[in-house]
Amino acid sequence: MDVVAVIDFETTGLSPAQGDRATEIAAVILENGKVVDRYQSLMNAGVGIPSFIEELTGISNAMIRQAPTATVVMREVSDFVSDIPLVAHNASFDCKFWDAEVARINLTRRQEFACSLLLSRRLLPLAPSHKLGALVEYANLPLAGRAHRALADAEMAASLLTHLADELRSRYGIRQVTHELLRKIQGIPKAKVEQVLAKHQQSQ
């Protein structure tokens, strides 16, 4: 598979348009099914964390007060991933926070996101749930730490992505799993996935 950077944000809520901000980010570089590098940091965006989010993530206001600023962290993580294609679980969420946070430091995203949630709905349609934790359990993948912390979730999403790439190889004979192919697959209507991937296999 292409080298990709799997990222995960923890935030104060669901919508940067409603004033929510990032509190933690992690990025892992995935190369040939192995995590070869990691970045993780809490960040202080100068906003309070609601109590139910503190309970959900374990990230407290006290922890954030001691963290480097969002400006510093977003510069570092942008440098870390460079122009490597990005992946996240429910990427529409992480993409909107990524774009909002880098816009604050006058940067622009240089690459596309692929989404392990959309891919899982197509490649693991029988999973009882497509939440990240439920998919990790369904596919017998290793737990990486406390759920709802950025590095653990990024590591588990990376494991899931590797599993999905293995499925593409074993079930459809796809030899070269590229980020571009993942983006194509996640956009196939669910009812046509089998048909399109079978055709792709024949055209290789």
d(CA 102, CA 74): 6
List the strands of the sheet with 86-88, edge to edge.
Answer: 34-42, 22-31, 4-11, 86-88, 113-115
Using CB under 7 A as the binding rule, whether residue 11 contacts DNA is answered as yes
Q: Identify the residue among 87, 132, 174, 182 touching DNA (CB under 7 A).
A: 132
Using CB under 7 A as the binding rule, whether residue 54 contacts DNA is answered as no
Residues 145-164 that bind DNA (CB under 7 A): 148, 153
Q: Identify the residue among 40, 41, 44, 57 touching DNA (CB under 7 A).
A: 57
| Closer residue to DNA, CB minimum distance, 89 or 163 | 89
Pairing, β 34-42 against β 22-31: antiparallel
Using CB under 7 A as the binding rule, whether residue 51 contacts DNA is answered as no
Using CB under 7 A as the binding rule, whether residue 143 contacts DNA is answered as no
CB of residue 160 to DNA, shortest distance in Å? 10
# residues near DNA by CB under 7 A: 32
d(CA 22, CA 59): 11
CB of residue 32 to DNA, shortest distance in Å? 25
Structure tokens at 152: 């653990």
Instruction: Identify which of 40, 39, 28, 22 has the alpha carbon closest to the alpha carbon of residue 3.
Output: 28
Residues that bind DNA (CB under 7 A): 8-11, 13-15, 17-18, 23, 53, 56-57, 89-90, 92-93, 117-118, 121-122, 129-134, 148, 153, 189-191
